[in-house]
Amino acid sequence: MQGGGDRDSFSSKFGVLAALAGSAIGLGNIWRFPYVVGQNGGGAFLLIYVIFIAAIGIPVMMSEFMIGRSAQLNPVGAFKKIAPGTKWHLAGMLGVVSVFIIFAFYTVVAGWTLEYVIQSVKWILFPDKFGFASMDNVALTQFFSNHYESFTSGTWRPIIWFLVMMFLTGYIVISGVKNGIEKFAKILMPIFLVLLLILVLRSVSLEGGREGLVFLFKPDFNTIKEAPFRIILEALGQAFFSLSIGMGTLITYGSYIKRKENLAGTAVSVVVADTSVAIIAGLAIFPAVFAFGIDPGEGPELVYKTLPVIFQNMAGGLIWAFMFFLLLCFAAITSTISMLEVIVAYFSEQLNMSRKRATMLSMISVGVLGIICTASDEVFGLFNASPDLMLPLGGFFIVVFIGWFFSGEKSRQELSSDGAFKIRYHRLFMFLVKFVAPLAIAFLFALGVYSKVISIFPSLG
């Protein structure tokens, strides 16, 4: 059933934005962004990141929408349909493989979030058992740090929470695009934002928090001197990861966008929302990191160690933690849904499976990968590093395709929705997708790949 007329689509403009923002905003903003900024020196990294978002992220996102909406298919099918008889579908395949890998480790981290939801209930109900009352911030930081270590090094709980998150995602995807995704995203994302803002207020008012703001916003290029090309490639990878681009997720979601929607406007709104949330997360984390004397370069555990301590410093304490982690779980699910949707669309459209079977098969295969991730720090690290290499590569093919193989006429048609919108930016867009984005990505990739690989496999160095 390729490109059949009964394909599902998003029902309203707000629904489209909610689903796209739901995909983009998630653990990438709250968990990954703060720790990679922290590891890579703060302000200078943020500046590079924002430049990539604007100059490369927006054009790649628009390109994915154009491919998906014009073909009305999954990433592999879309390339096959638009460029029949060529090898372009391999770019779609690369995307599907990237999604598999990302889905696996991402759902593992989503499971950690669930652990914190459940633990918060215990912490709230039995504060005396844990002795919170007598702990200062140093002791609290140590407590949550120990909790993180013992939880992630355990065997069963990480697997169980991972499986719970995966089945929840599967359940929502089987129930269909409109009902499944839009309904939840519309209500919960705004609440999450409010909670995040409250957290910022508390964090910036902590004694010693100012230093965190300086760290986040004052670019000091000495901080990236050590491994500039690896760090710059990581900024690019994080930009792609956070925007959910470079792997065909937004080709798939683009195929559900109606022709009357404005693709450029949609892309800009999603990018602004996603980047704002990442920066707000930074504003919530870094003042507290400095106030509590935590090392900003701590790594993946950074937010799991820092956030609970901020909550303990608020009236109401860990009740906030419970709400926050619950909503973070939800934000993660709106992202995992979009990943599973890619794989299901691929299986069902290319391999002619029913959506239900396709979902089952995806869950079994991702389930195995995810369990391996929970068992091995090395595999987890490798998977978590993969976006920095795979997504820029995928993004490269996507912009080259739009810039050089998709005809100018078709690109006008898509971007203007057949003439309904003015597209005065069209020449700028073509310049970005033909030259700026591909050259920048190729250059950064070529320079960064070696030091990135060495950072993953130090024994090769």
* Residue in 247, 264, 291, 294 binding ligand PFF, rule: CB under 6 A: 247
Residue 247 or 310: the one with the smaller Cβ distance to ligand PFF is 247
User: What stretches of 351-435 show up as alpha helix (H) in DSSP?
Assistant: 355-375, 377-400, 408-415, 426-431
DSSP per-residue string spanning 232-248 = HHHHHHHHHHHHT-SSS
Contact with ligand PFF (CB under 6 A) among 45, 241, 325, 406: 241
> How many whole angstroms separate alpha carbon 81 and alpha carbon 268?
27
- Residue 36 vs 310, nearer CB to ligand PFF: 36
Nearest residue to ligand PFF by CB is: 28
CB count in 10 Å sphere of residue 121: 13
8 Å CB contact between 366 and 372: no
Shortest distance (Å) from residue 113 CB to ligand PFF:
11
Q: Which of 39, 335 has the CB closer to ligand PFF?
A: 335
Nearer to ligand PFF, 312 or 336 (CB): 336
Shortest distance in whole angstroms from residue 334 CB to ligand PFF: 9
Kindly state the smallest distance separating residue 419's Cβ from ligand PFF, in Å. 31
Nearest to 263 by CA among 128, 380, 415: 415
Residues 384-423, one symbol each (x = binds ligand PFF by CB under 6 A, - = not), give ----------------------------------------
Which among 195, 225, 258 is positioned nearest to 65, based on CA atoms? 258
Is 339 a binder of ligand PFF (CB under 6 A)? yes
Q: What is the largest CA-CA distance in the chain?
A: 70
CB of 183 to ligand PFF, least distance (A): 19
User: Is residue 35 close enough to count as binding ligand PFF by CB under 6 A?
Assistant: no
- The single residue among 15, 18, 22, 26 that binds ligand PFF, judged by CB under 6 A, is 26
Shortest Cβ distance from residue 241 to ligand PFF (Å)? Answer: 5
Tokens 């169980």 identify what position? 160
Which of residues 23, 203, 312, 362 is near ligand PFF by CB under 6 A? Answer: 23
Tokens, residue 420: 């309904």
Closer residue to ligand PFF in complex, CB, 143/184: 184
**Interface residues for ligand PFF in 97-116 (CB under 6 A)?**
99, 102
Closest to ligand PFF by CB, 36 vs 200, is: 36
Q: How many residues bind ligand PFF (CB under 6 A)?
A: 16
Candidates 145, 313, 335, 359: give the one binding ligand PFF (CB under 6 A). 335
**325: burial class by Cβ within 10 Å (0-12, 13-18, 19+)?**
buried
Residues 218 and 46: their CA atoms lie apart, in Å, by 9
| Token pair of 194 as six digits | 């409010």
Supply φ then ψ for residue 73, to 5 degrees.
-145, 170
Q: Is 306 buried (19+), middle (13-18) or exposed (0-12) by CB count in 10 A? A: buried
Binding site for ligand PFF (CB under 6 A): 23-24, 26-29, 99, 102, 241-242, 244, 247, 249, 335, 338-339
